[in-house]
C-alpha cells in the first residue's frame, strides 16, 4: 500500500496554487451572494446521507448509542433546507467523506469539498444558466487577479464561450462507448454539459419520458473531466419511495427525510455540487488532484498526517 507523503507537489508552487484558490473562492462567494443566494454551514454527522451513484465504503461512527455517518454530500439536507427557507436559493461549502474504492485516479480524494447550490422552484435551464455565469465569473476574476501566479504555474485560462455545448449521455454512449466522458473531455476546448443520466432517486425523472432524467453534469475540457453534477429534484413522497425501491435501497436508510416528504415539507428545486479541488486543479492546470492539496487523502493509500 502506498503512503501519502507530505507535501505532495514538491515543486514550490503551493503559494501560487492557494492564491488562485483564495481568489476563486472569493469570486464564488461574491457572485452567489450578489445573486441573492444565502450561505449555510455544512452538516457532517447525520443518520442519513447521499446514497451516491457508485459504491464507496460507509464512514460510520457511534455516538451516544446512535449510529451516524460522515456525510457523502449535502444533497438531502440542502433539499430540506431550501424547501424550509424563504429564499431564492442556498449555497454551502461542504466537506464530503467518500471512502472510494477506485484503484488509481488523478481526480479522486477520500475527503474533498463541494460547492453545493440549490435553487428553490428552479428549472434545470435556470440552474445551468446560473452555473455558466458563475464559471465565467470565476475564470475572469482569477485571470484578472492572479496573472503572475498563472504565469508561474504555466497555466493558460480561457474564458468559456456561450452557449456551453450540450450533449445527452445516451448519444455520447452511442458515439464513444462507456468511457465517453474522458474521451469527449479531451476533445472539447471549452466547458460543456452532458444531460440525462440514469442515477440517484432524488434526480427528477422526466414524467413524459419514462427512464429519462432532468439532470446534468458540467464537464471541463482538456481531459479534466467532471466539474459538477446536479438536477431538478423529485420531492413527492410516493415518487421518492418508488424510486428508492427501484434502486434496491432501503426506505429505513432515509426515514427522517421521507417523513418530511410525506408531510409535504419538500418542494421543487434544482441544484448541483461543484468539486472545489477539481476546480482548482483545472484553474491551475495540475495533472493530479494531489498537487493542489496540502494533506491529500488518496484512495488506497496510508494517510500519514
Ligand atoms: P457527485 O455528486 O458525486 O457528482 O459529486 C459532485 C462533484 O464533487 C463532482 O462533480 C466532482 O467535481 C466532485 N467529486 C466527487 N467525488 C470526488 C472525489 N472522490 N474526490 C474529489 N472530488 C470529487
Ligand atoms: Mg457526478
Taking the centre of ligand 1 as the mean of its atom positions, its distance from the CA of residue 64, in whole angstroms, is: 31
Euclidean distance between CA atoms 276 and 26, whole angstroms: 12
Q: In 10 A of CB 72, how many CB atoms?
A: 18
Tell me the torsion sign for CA atoms 117, 293, 19, 17.
negative
Residues with Cβ within 8 Å of residue 2, at least 6 apart in sequence: 298, 300, 301, 302
Looking at the CA of residue 52, tell me the nearest atom of ligand 1.
Answer: 3
Q: What residues line ligand 1, using a CB cutoff of 6 Å?
A: 73, 98, 100, 108-109, 112, 114, 226-229, 273, 275, 277-278
C-alpha Rg value of the chain to the nearest Å: 19
C-alpha atoms less than 13 angstroms from C-alpha of 217 in its C-beta half-sphere: 21
Looking at the CA of residue 73, tell me the nearest atom of ligand 1.
Answer: 2
Burial of residue 277, with CB atoms counted within 10 A of its CB: 0-12 exposed, 13-18 middle, 19 or more buried: buried
Nearest residue (by CA) to ligand 1, atom 14, is 275
Nearest residue (by CA) to ligand 1, atom 2, is 229
pLDDT reported for residue 11: 56
pLDDT reported for residue 128: 98
- Note the pTM of the prediction, 2 decimals: 0.96
Spatial CA neighbour of 129 closest among 35, 236, 263: 35
Looking at the CA of residue 217, tell me the nearest atom of ligand 1.
Answer: 10
Taking the centre of ligand 2 as the mean of its atom positions, its distance from the CA of residue 12, in whole angstroms, is: 31
Among 50, 71, 111, 114, which is best to mutate for testing ligand 1, by the most ligand atoms less than 8 A from CB? 114
pLDDT reported for residue 27: 98
Q: What is the dihedral of CA 25, 28, 34, 40, to 10 degrees?
A: -80
pLDDT reported for residue 5: 46
Q: What share of the chain is helix, strand, coil (3-state, %, to 5)?
A: 35, 25, 40
> Mean pLDDT per 10-residue run, the chain (305 residues)?
51 89 98 98 98 95 98 98 98 98 93 98 98 98 98 97 96 96 96 97 93 97 98 98 97 98 98 98 97 94 92
Amino acid at each position: 500500500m502506498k503512503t501519502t507523503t507530505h507535501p505532495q507537489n514538491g515543486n514550490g508552487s503551493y503559494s501560487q496554487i492557494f492564491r488562485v484558490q483564495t481568489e476563486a473562492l472569493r469570486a464564488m462567494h461574491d457572485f452567489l451572494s450578489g445573486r441573492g443566494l444565502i450561505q449555510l454551514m455544512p452538516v457532517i454527522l447525520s443518520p442519513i446521507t447521499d446514497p451516491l451513484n457508485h459504491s464507496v465504503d460507509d464512514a460510520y461512527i457511534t455516538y451516544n448509542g446512535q449510529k451516524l455517518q460522515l456525510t457523502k454530500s449535502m444533497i438531502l439536507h440542502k433539499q430540506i433546507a431550501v424547501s424550509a427557507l424563504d429564499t431564492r436559493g442556498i449555497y454551502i461549502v461542504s466537506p464530503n467523506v467518500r471512502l472510494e474504492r477506485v484503484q488509481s485516479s488523478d481526480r479522486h480524494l477520500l475527503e474533498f469539498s463541494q460547492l453545493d447550490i440549490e435553487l428553490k422552484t428552479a428549472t434545470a435551464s435556470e440552474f445551468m444558466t446560473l452555473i455558466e455565469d458563475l464559471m465565467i465569473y470565476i475564470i475572469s476574476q482569477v485571470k484578472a487577479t492572479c496573472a503572475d501566479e498563472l504565469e508561474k504555474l504555466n497555466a493558460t485560462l480561457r474564458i468559456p464561450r456561450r452557449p456551453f455545448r450540450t450533449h445527452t449521455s445516451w448519444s455520447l454512449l452511442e458515439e464513444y462507448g462507456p468511457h465517453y466522458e474522458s474521451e469527449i473531455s479531451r476533445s472539447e476546448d471549452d466547458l460543456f454539459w452532458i444531460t440525462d443520466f440514469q442515477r440517484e432517486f432524488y434526480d427528477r425523472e422526466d414524467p413524459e419520458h419514462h427512464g429519462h432524467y432532468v439532470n446534468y453534469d458540467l464537464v471541463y475540457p482538456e481531459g479534466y473531466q467532471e466539474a459538477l453534477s446536479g438536477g431538478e429534484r423529485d420531492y413527492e413522497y410516493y415518487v421518492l419511495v418508488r424510486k428508492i425501491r427501484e434502486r434496491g435501497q432501503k426506505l429505513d436508510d432515509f426515514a427522517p427525510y421521507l417523513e418530511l416528504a410525506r408531510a409535504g415539507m419538500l418542494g421543487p428545486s434544482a441544484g448541483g455540487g461543484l468539486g472545489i479541488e477539481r476546480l482548482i486543479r483545472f484553474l491551475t492546470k495540475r495533472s493530479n488532484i494531489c498537487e493542489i492539496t496540502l494533506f491529500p487523502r488518496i484512495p488506497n493509500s496510508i494517510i500519514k498526517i
